[in-house]
Amino acid sequence: VRCSPLRFHKYCSYTLCSVSNLVCFAVLGRGLKDLMTINLARYRPTGEQVAIRRIDLESCTNEMVNYLQAELHVSKLFHHSSILPYRSIFIAENELWVISPFMAYGSARDLISSHFTDGMNELAIAYILLGMLKALDYIHHMGYVHRSVKASHVLISVDGQVCMSGLRSIISLIRHGQRARVVHDFPQYSIKVLPWLSPEVLQQNLQGYDFRSDIYSLGITACELANGHVPFKDMPATQMLLEKLNGTVPCLLDTTTIPPEELTMKPSRSGADSGICEGPSTGGAHHSNGEPSSSGSHPYSRTFSPHFHAFVELCLQRDPEKRPSASALIGHSFFKQIKRRPSEALPELFRPITPITGFESTQPQDAASVLASLESGLSHMDVDDWDF
């Protein structure tokens, strides 16, 4: 089915309207069944680093086109510092070009995969979750449910700005001009996001779901950031559904949730990989705020604060009615540990990871070496799942 580019003209904006003003560097990845190419580029007039999604419209099915149109419609409605903006949208021949800022630290998932394989420091997680909550509070007040909350949809800029992306699965609660109490639609292309989805979304019954399903997904993301992996990740979909419907609750893996005898085992034998709590424990030398007690110890021989545990438990309540709203969670005691601006704190907390920067002033003769350096630096980023 051929798609006419004219279908997208109403979404076009011309802040960065000329292809000639963009210098493309590395291909970061591909997506949308290989119909989308993601490029790292520089905007010539300012030297700003940008990411470009180039989508071959003529090869898109009608279903894909409708999916993209819904995303672009929402992107034009939203204006918030914690939601990734689209700087420009325009048509170049048969391609739709979507320009967004390049987020130099990549996604929170990238940070876990490349360095924090057993989970991040609690303070870094607090900054990330607070940024996510600010975005979700805005999205929910606008009458939408995100439905794709996870670490790979949290992008972090060079100055520590936390931005949510992944708007492609978003759904409106507004029906015929009025705000509906719940929706029943199951998100398209949701296979990759199943471990994060709430029980009420997965069970697809007449009760439906609302914005509180995003709060459950936030709790799963908190476990993902803290433990280094996603709870339920290795389970078949049917088992995952049964576990969630039966009230199995993931938890933060530390000295309070893993039995002492397991903390003396090698990590591969500990049984902690599921992210499902086995039971409380006591004793043992450990540090607070999620720092392991020593480099040679079990990676989960650490202790997260009671405030963090309480926060996650609130988010993962089986009954959606018992989960707080995003605005209520912003005031949770867990965030009292935040004393500085993200721009001051996050670069320190992310060390030794450095952001991908430094090609603004590239001269033509240096292009090959700079491109090789960029591709090396970008190798840890799973950009196919960024959903800019």
Tokens at 156, concatenated: 């972090």
Whose CA is closest to 164, among 122, 125, 107?
A: 107
Q: Which residues lie closer than 8 Å to 371 by C-beta, 6 or more apart?
A: 25, 26
Token representation of residue 36: 């989308």
Cα 80 to Cα 328: distance, rounded to the nearest angstrom: 19
Identify the H or E element spanning 218: helix 212-227
Number of other CB atoms surrounding residue 361 within 10 Å: 9
Tell me the β-bridge partners of 209: 183
- CA-only gyration radius of the chain, Å: 21
Domains of the chain: residue spans and CATH = 10-102 (3.30.200.20), 108-252+304-349 (1.10.510.10)
User: Average pLDDT in the 146-151 region?
Assistant: 96
364, containing H or E segment: none
Question: Which residues, including other chains, have CB under 8 Å from residue 379's CB and lie 6 or more apart?
Answer: none
pTM of the model: 0.85
- Residue range 266-284: average pLDDT? 50
Q: Residue 99, SS3?
A: strand
Please choose, from the candidates 111, 45, 179, the residue with its C-alpha nearest in 3D space to the C-alpha of residue 346: 111
Q: CA-CA distance, 364 to 370, in Å (whole number)?
A: 10
Task: Over range 71-78, report the average pLDDT.
Answer: 90
Look at residues 278, 250, 251 and name the one whose alpha carbon lies nearest to residue 263.
278
Residue-wise pLDDT for 47-58, tens only, equals 888 999 999 998
Predicted confidence (pLDDT) per residue in 304-324, tens digit:
999 999 999 999 999 999 999
DSSP one-letter code for 117: T
Q: Which of 87, 78, 160, 169 is nearest to 123 (CA)?
A: 160
Q: What is the mean pLDDT of residues 25-34?
A: 81
Q: Which helix (H) or strand (E) holds 164?
A: strand 162-164
What is the rounded distance in angstroms from the CA atom of residue 189 to the CA atom of residue 104? Answer: 27
Average pLDDT taken over every residue of the chain: 83
* Mean pLDDT, range 188-202, rounded to an integer: 88
Instruction: Tell me the per-residue pLDDT of 216-257, one tens digit each, with 9 for 90 and over.
Output: 999 999 999 999 999 998 889 899 999 999 989 999 999 999
pLDDT given for residue 382 in this prediction? 53
How is 304-330 classified by DSSP, letter by letter? Answer: --HHHHHHHHHHT-SSGGGSPPHHHHH
